[in-house]
Amino acid sequence: MKKIFLSLMVMVAAVAANAQIWVGGSLGFRTYSEDKVANWKSTFSIKPEVGYDLSEDLSIAIGLGYEMCKPEQGDNVSTLSVNPYARYKFLKAGNFSVFVDGGFTFETGDYFVGKDGEAQQYEDENGVPQKDGSMFNIAIRPGVAYAINDNFSVVAHLGDGLIYRGGDNKAENGFALDIANGLSFGVYYAF
């Protein structure tokens, strides 16, 4: 028993010696002026993350998120989310690296935003409109990172990647491939 315990301690110490903790995330703000999304005035989001580098190529992390959309008319739409994921870096060139994140997101909030930018309530199985709801995503998202120095890096994700959505809003459920619908940026600090 002592040998097993000692072996486990050595393995944990070896992983911890190469591991690095990082924190970061992203802030977002958008305003709309196009006719097709004229009902929306602004959107604000904050998404902090904390991660742990298991090796040079593999990390695990968890992100939390809050997003609020304020339409010109009607109630605000807000959601909370939690997003555990793993990151695999598969291409490195100098300070640049290309990676893929694979993870799960659970989101809950008031009601959902439709594809055309208008707030849409979903209906339950009896056709009754619902205001509160939840959804989940399973996604693989590509991204790039640039290490400014040993501690700071800038990260960009391309769209939502390959994603499966499910949840209360049946109109949004299903598979999608989305790498052209937006570019998000984040800043990370490694200890």
Residue 63 maps to which CATH number? 2.40.160.20
What span, in angstroms and rounded, lies between the C-alpha atoms of 149 and 147? Answer: 5
Confidence label for 144 from pLDDT (cuts 50, 70 and 90): very high
Lowest mean pLDDT segment, chosen from 5-19, 51-65, 125-139, 141-155: 5-19
CB atoms within 10 A of CB 35: 6
Split into its structural domains, the chain has a count of: 1
Question: Could you read off the pLDDT of 18-75 as tens digits, one per residue?
Answer: 558 999 988 877 666 555 544 556 778 889 999 999 998 999 999 999 988 776 655 6
Question: Is 0.85 surpassed by the pTM of this model?
Answer: no
Handedness of CA 176, 178, 181, 184 (dihedral sign): positive
What span, in angstroms and rounded, lies between the C-alpha atoms of 129 and 161? Answer: 30
Number of residues assigned to the chain: 191
Domain containing 75 equals 2-190
